[in-house]
Structure 1
């Protein structure tokens, strides 16, 4: 029954896309345990995959194979579609790979020592940069300070972003270069953390980060290329063949266009224009851009609602449970919402709004509802990026408004040690509510938010299914009623992610007519114990029918 229906589907799609089995050289991947979703989102299996010389899928388990077809033995490995990360920061990942990584630091002092060691080995760098610190994992759970950095590096500025990217830890030299003094006011949507004497401590929240960022050296095409190379190699090694780049300015826009023209992009990029870029109107006027090889697609805008939960920047309706005087920060002020919504939707671009706290989510949903009535644009598959903490009464509105919640499973397992402290027990009912949202009938695109989280998509699949970290904690799962099935999570990293990028016509499944983006892995994620999903290793990665990563020859 399965083979008959699949062959019927294959024949129909072959006619629709004009592919003929009699065309020249094709490739047949044999002897695999293949999985893909069909167009209806149902999981199907196959043993052979036929790819044409253009890098597109011809059929699964074909009855006939054209003469001259190259045959590749999959050696009984598991074959999956290339995975899609629906929310990441490509050059940010590359930058992180080229800077000091503080993710595993256990104390503020240890982090400072790592920075000092890095600086000794990179004496040519004008600024010492890094990322990944998280005070919630340190014993005292207190924000760091400039003084500790000054003790190890005082002659050049230091810039270290928090793991969520919504706070920066700098030394006194950086504060001095930025002109930040005790009298410097907090900018709208930002906060300069100060001690009991009113002195800046060296931690800047959200928009306050811009005060230092403005005096840092500007990015160059050469640096972008190094970041792109590092990020691309890493993503392909973990099975990601496409990603949604959540917020690019005009410099990166121009860089991507140039690389796309040269056919020199390592992974497929669905790029979101940054709503804060002053040239946004010009980029919107240029219109939708989609390269013929589907390596670059630009038809969306990323806007910014609030900050992150860990730094208490997420905008909440009621105060933080562990900081009763704080409600979080709005990075875009309420009076500016209508202009952004009307500008983006009016241009025919999808709007993807960052919202983590329940206030930010509610404001974004309210504005979508108003704009759909006045301007239209509901069919654009607009999104809320993160949709992390939602008022219970707002959960059903995503499906009602056809606004996609773009979520990151490992955020839940990373936040589990502090989220309930920040929110209290009652608000947790609408937090990280994947199952409630998917049951409401809305597609659920999934990603990682790399480099905030590690990019490995199998970590995300594991977190989505188990609601546990990679130490299998907590034993019963963290709010396990919101866990997904492995099929639902797999759909989030494939078909739903493609749908959220208007690319389900070309990506997300290995059905005929789509690009042959696929990976070979060392275990069956649909059969192994759920706690072991994260251990999956990628053996090979193929994009458009070409091998772009091989674990046996990469040295990794």
Structure 2
């Protein structure tokens, strides 16, 4: 599973740089001497030497130095000295506040054993004695080779005095100690909630692992983040995004508080990446946020709130993903559908009738089939509701269901590094037949589907070049496995570039304003230290970002 960059270590530098972001020129700016690449409206790769944008941050010319200069008289010039210039990269599925929060919690992504994780948690707890709860992120029992989940008693050994909660790497299970179980009132008699599971021992006692819908049993008794903490998390996340060359992100699940902060940051000029936000579920927050209908554009396309995020099932690593047939390595379980068909359809219809794009998390083949069935019924009932609906992850899909994405106009929103992170357990979970429809990027692209690529940060690294590397090589950042994992499903370099730019923009219905460097669009671009289209494939993930610009404003400089 993933190895996040040392987010906490890089945060201070990134924050310092972004604090000194330049303001747009009053007349305009020309980026000169560029080794430039972009896609045009047809998706064809084109080269350019110069890029000009006006004082509002809109592109006025792209092309040869002579042609651009003729259209940009009186503009100031910035010489990038032959460095590579690319459109700003877009992450079509991430969790922005979660990214910022990772830097202030125990970091378990790099732990390679249970003992190592416990040592990290213990050190963190001792160093943060003032915290009411000890929280961490990123544990993965598959890497630890335990053959089981960790337990509350093991966590009690290093955090005996306070409640502790550690998020699994996929975000679909938590490991808690006995104090947390007691605060949540979880006993032998507590029933599994809908769409969730309390792991139990042979005597029926809770072991300390809560999967999917059961997580809320504990999180509802945790103190809510203060506005100051939320602002700190957003500041940290924006700095990380800028440092990694991400000029736009699709935030997969926001509520009233996040929406308020995004608008405030956009109003004050502090929103240094475009955010296409998805309202989390169709409950109380949706009712409040949807009162005025979808917000398609706010503050010069810096913010949008016109989609809804729902969940069909859990994750593969915790065996919460819903499968049609039992797990190959656990024949006693099929995983979990969060809702019955009618319940899920009601949620989906509520969002569609209100005019929102639907983006539904579905990882297992049963989860994907449920959502495809519901899309088929709802799009027939509401034929004017073709809003480029999506399935987030589309991770394990029955081969017979893949063509239905194209037939129904459903966008597969996929995360390339999930495949290279999951290679250590995915085929054991689903077996050799079902794996043919798993992480099946080539199959989707061949039929004409447009894939929106993302990372699912902070579950995976936010670095989009690691995503492009995974898409092209089907290898992790250690170049494992040799030759690539199920290499037949790899993307070409241009396909991977497109799914992190133009097609990610298309999935947010924003391809007319971002996703490529063309006249009339926003000047969202990055300058990199290596040429993406010339570097060896195994080195793509190590490309570094030198500058990041959003709407003609420099928001990061190395």
**Do Structure 1 and Structure 2 share a fold, with TM-score over 0.5?**
yes
Rounded Cα–Cα distance in structure 2 between residues aligned with 1:463 and 1:427: 21
Corresponding residue SS for 1:208: coil
Partner of 2:258: 252
**Residue segments in structure 2 that go unaligned for 5+ positions in a row:** 1-24
Partner of 1:158: 164
Contact 1:348/1:377 (8 A) holds in 2: no
1:94 aligns with 2:96: no
How far residue 292 of structure 1 moved from its aligned partner, in angstroms, is 3.1
Structure 2 CA distance for partners of 1:487 and 1:335, relative to 1, 3 Å: same
Residue 88 of structure 2, aligned match among 64, 82, 92: 82
Partner of 2:131: 125
Structure 2 CA distance for partners of 1:66 and 1:491, relative to 1, 3 Å: closer
Partner of 1:399: 406
Residue 283 of structure 1, aligned match among 278, 289, 305: 289
**Residue segments in structure 1 that go unaligned for 5+ positions in a row:** 1-22, 552-556
1:440-465 per-residue CA deviation (whole Å, 9 max, x = no partner) reads: 11111000000111110000000000
How far residue 378 of structure 1 moved from its aligned partner, in angstroms, is 4.5
Contact 1:249/1:277 (8 A) holds in 2: no
4+ runs of 1 displaced by more than 6 Å? none
Residue 172 of structure 1, aligned match among 175, 178, 192: 178
Partner of 1:27: 29
**What does 1:111-260 correspond to in 2, within 5 Å?**
111-260=117-266
Residue 541 of structure 1, aligned match among 545, 548, 553: 548
Rounded Cα–Cα distance in structure 2 between residues aligned with 1:147 and 1:29: 59
| TM-score of the aligned structures, taking structure 1 as reference length | 0.93
Rounded Cα–Cα distance in structure 2 between residues aligned with 1:377 and 1:477: 42
1:326 aligns with 2:333: yes
Corresponding residue SS for 1:229: helix
Partner of 2:392: 385
Structure 2 CA distance for partners of 1:406 and 1:66, relative to 1, 3 Å: closer
Partner of 2:57: 55
Residue 462 of structure 2, aligned match among 455, 463, 486: 455
How far residue 65 of structure 1 moved from its aligned partner, in angstroms, is 4.4
* More moved, 492-501 vs 123-132: 123-132
Partner of 1:429: 436
Partner of 1:513: 520
1:296-321 per-residue CA deviation (whole Å, 9 max, x = no partner) reads: 10100001100000000000000000
How far residue 140 of structure 1 moved from its aligned partner, in angstroms, is 1.9
Rounded Cα–Cα distance in structure 2 between residues aligned with 1:139 and 1:438: 35
How far residue 475 of structure 1 moved from its aligned partner, in angstroms, is 1.0
Contact 2:392/2:412 (8 A) holds in 1: yes
Partner of 1:361: 368
How far residue 149 of structure 1 moved from its aligned partner, in angstroms, is 1.3
Corresponding residue SS for 1:406: strand
Rounded Cα–Cα distance in structure 1 between residues aligned with 2:113 and 2:50: 51
1:401-456 per-residue CA deviation (whole Å, 9 max, x = no partner) reads: 00000000000000001001000000011000001101111111000000111110
Rounded Cα–Cα distance in structure 1 between residues aligned with 2:383 and 2:278: 20
Corresponding residue SS for 2:123: helix
The alignment of Structure 1 onto Structure 2 pairs a total of residues equal to 529
Partner of 2:269: 263
1:320-356 per-residue CA deviation (whole Å, 9 max, x = no partner) reads: 0000010001123322122112111111110001000
How far residue 109 of structure 1 moved from its aligned partner, in angstroms, is 1.9
Partner of 1:45: 47
Contact 2:282/2:308 (8 A) holds in 1: no
Rounded Cα–Cα distance in structure 2 between residues aligned with 1:419 and 1:66: 53
Rounded Cα–Cα distance in structure 2 between residues aligned with 1:350 and 1:394: 21
1:141-187 per-residue CA deviation (whole Å, 9 max, x = no partner) reads: 42111111111111111111000000001111111111111111111
1:466 aligns with 2:473: yes
Contact 1:461/1:486 (8 A) holds in 2: yes
Rounded Cα–Cα distance in structure 2 between residues aligned with 1:485 and 1:388: 19
* More moved, 389-398 vs 102-111: 102-111
1:347 aligns with 2:354: yes
Partner of 1:487: 494
How far residue 251 of structure 1 moved from its aligned partner, in angstroms, is 2.2
Structure 2 CA distance for partners of 1:378 and 1:277, relative to 1, 3 Å: closer
Partner of 2:79: 73
Contact 1:269/1:297 (8 A) holds in 2: yes
1:498 aligns with 2:505: yes
* More moved, 140-149 vs 232-241: 140-149
How far residue 235 of structure 1 moved from its aligned partner, in angstroms, is 0.9
Q: What CA RMSD, in Å, does the superposition of the two structures yield over aligned residues?
A: 1.3
| TM-score of the aligned structures, taking structure 2 as reference length | 0.93
Contact 2:282/2:350 (8 A) holds in 1: no
Residue 452 of structure 2, aligned match among 436, 445, 458: 445
